[in-house]
Amino acid sequence: MKKIRVVESVLKANDANADANRARLDEAGVVCLNLMSAPGSGKTTLLQKTIPALAPVACGVLVGDLQTTRDAERLSEATSDVVQINTGRGCHLSAAQVSNGLDELDLAKLDLLFIENVGNMVCPASFDLGEHFRVALLSVPEGADKVAKYPTLYSNANAILLTKTDLVDILGFDTDLVKSDLARINTAAPLIECSPQTGEGLDSWHDWLRGLCS
């Protein structure tokens, strides 16, 4: 009988790279967060507001997008430690891509590293990048049903941010539905309601981040 060769699973190979990234970050004393959400939920805007507010905590960003350096350009106003990773057709960041990004940063001078993942609610949740904490965003215009529809993203998160809360009343957003859906799949992660545009609620997010650094 012909022997069938099986290539090691993509996820298993990714996990080995992720563990190496985490060891490298631990060695440098950098706390790393993986930010995941749909496109347009406000990841970049959130980081633009967060990085200056956290000073003197030194923050760097690895930002993933299929194309363009637009997000890195926006973030470069807040920190010089920004690297854009273009994935081409790739719909998520891999640990190997993050490893290449880490090569471009001076980790010794950073306290916090944010990885802004490619905007996508599905596969980023399955790829460990070597982060210490996972943050999932849901923006009000996306609709209150998304926690139940994309449970993998929200069940594995260490913190969940409901963003664009300035639109709750305008859009008739059902925040209670989000809370009851989260109660079924993730009771450990705090739900932080905020508007990066207006600044409302960002203090809780910044306090949560400072708690990770101490």
Min separation Cβ 104 and Zn ion, Å? 22
- Kindly indicate which of the ranges 46-54, 71-79, 104-112, 150-158 contains the residues binding Mg ion, using the contact rule CB under 5 A: 71-79
Please choose which of Zn ion, Mg ion, none residue 123 contacts, taking the beta carbon within 5 to 8 angstroms, the exact cut-off set by kind: Zn ion
Q: Which is nearer to Mg ion, 22 or 74 (CB)?
A: 74
The 63-102 site mask, x for binding Zn ion (CB under 5 A), equals ----------------------------xx----------
Pick one of Mg ion, Zn ion, none as the site partner of residue 128 (Cβ within 5 to 8 A by kind). none
Token look-up 């010089």 returns: 80
Does 131 contact Mg ion by CB under 5 A? no
Please, which contacts does 175-184 make with residues 24 or more away whose CB atoms are closer than 8 Å? 175/144, 177/144, 177/145, 178/138, 178/144, 178/147, 181/145, 181/147, 181/148, 181/154, 182/147, 182/154
- The closest alpha carbon to 72, from 57, 59, 88, 61, belongs to 61
The verdict on whether omega for the bond into residue 56 sits within 30 degrees of 0, i.e. cis, is: yes
CB 48 within 8 A of CB 78: yes
**x-or-dash pattern for Mg ion, window 80-119, by CB under 5 A?**
----------------------------------------
- Binding residues for Mg ion, per CB under 5 A? 43-44, 71
